[in-house]
Amino acid sequence: MRQIATAIALIAAPVVMAGAGAVPASAQDSVAREIEDLGGGLHRWTSGNYHSMFLVHDEGIMVADPLNEEAATWLRAQLKERYPGLPITHVIYSHSHPDHAYGGRALDDGATQFIAHELAAETWELNRALVRRPDITFADSFTLALPGAGTIELAYWGQNNGKGSVSMYFAEHDTLHVVDWIVLGRLPYRTLGGYDIGGMIASTRAVLADVPFTTFVGGHADMGSREDVEEYLSYIEALHSGVLSGIIAGRSLEEIQQTLDLSAYSHLKQFDAWKDENIEGVYNQLVDDYYVTMRPEVPEPGAT
């Protein structure tokens, strides 16, 4: 397994324990929200089509992505009701994209430590994003130790989606949390805006090889197992390989969309709606970012 031990963070706060149950949809707006207990203090919380995590430990609560101000305000109220007196000790950002990172200030208890990869922090600074800036940044890996709840191992696997996207491995819970660049039970989002197909493949291969998880929780779509992550990897590999082969054969985007057979994955949600858009997104990345059509052995579309 990859060693993730470049830093250990410990916190101190009053010890208060409380229980949690099911949460109804928000009364504040029409977005459906809920909290699911995954056991051992670990929870998945949902706001509309977005999922994030929180972990209750002996001295407080760690929250992953705050999503947005409305969602974070709702979550804070739920946590205060269910765990009175227990502070939010840490907030961990998964990556730079604003739809997952805004709302942090609503979770700031004053002594809350915010953690992000250094590339995410640099991106927010450069682009003047209104994100609660992290107190702790790291380059490769970071381990957060939480009393009574074990460790959260954060790791950067390279470019895949957004800037500074990291995995969160809840070691004592045998659970991996990844946002955006692994999606289970559904196709990746439309034309893969903000994604790097090569990085998605490399990062997914790496976590399967190096992180001994059995349960996967994504920032969107379904929870699942290692086998489900392997199926996702198989899909993005087939998508990439099929589009690349089509370009090398001199086919146009429209020809590739008409001929590339991905029917083995037709059971995935949004397959009919997004398959051609997935192909378009990978095609554009290979042409615009990877310069495949500039290679001398690759003919112009329609030249063969």
> Quick one: how far is CA 165 from the chain centroid?
7
Annotate 100-136 with three-state secondary structure.
Answer: HHCCHHHHCCCCCEEEEEHHHHHHHHHCCCCCCCCCE
Whether 160 shows a pLDDT value over 50: the answer reads yes
The ranges assigned to domains in the chain are 1-147, 181-304
pLDDT, tens only, 39-58: 999 999 999 999 999 999 99
From the CB of residue 33, how many other CB atoms can be counted at a distance below 10 Å?
A: 21
- The class level of CATH for 1-147 reads alpha beta
CA 52 to CA 67: how far, in whole Å? 8
CA 145 to CA 154: how far, in whole Å? 11
Whether 300 shows a pLDDT value over 60: the answer reads yes
Q: Which long-range contacts (C-beta less than 8 Å, at least 24 apart) are formed by 237-244?
A: 237/201, 238/262, 238/264, 238/265, 239/197, 239/278, 239/279, 239/282, 240/197, 240/198, 240/201, 240/282, 242/279, 243/279, 243/282, 243/283, 243/286, 244/286, 244/292
Instruction: Please give the model's pTM, rounded to 2 decimal places.
Output: 0.89
pLDDT for residue 21: 37
Whether 142 shows a pLDDT value over 50: the answer reads yes
pLDDT for residue 261: 98
Percent of the chain residues topping a pLDDT of 90:
88
Whether 2 shows a pLDDT value over 80: the answer reads no
Whether 295 shows a pLDDT value over 90: the answer reads yes
pLDDT for residue 303: 67
CA 26 to CA 217: how far, in whole Å? 22
pLDDT for residue 29: 62
CA 166 to each of CA 52, 93, 156, 179: distance values in angstroms, whole numbers, following the listed order: 13, 8, 5, 8
Whether 159 shows a pLDDT value over 50: the answer reads yes
CA 44 to each of CA 23, 53, 114, 165, 235: distance values in angstroms, whole numbers, following the listed order: 11, 4, 19, 19, 25
pLDDT, tens only, 233-275: 999 999 999 999 999 999 999 999 999 999 999 999 999 999 9
Mean pLDDT (the chain) is: 91
- Burial letters 94-107, b for 16+ CB under 10 A, else e: bbbbeebbbbbbbb
Whether 132 shows a pLDDT value over 60: the answer reads yes
State the average pLDDT over residues 139-148. 98
Whether 5 shows a pLDDT value over 50: the answer reads no
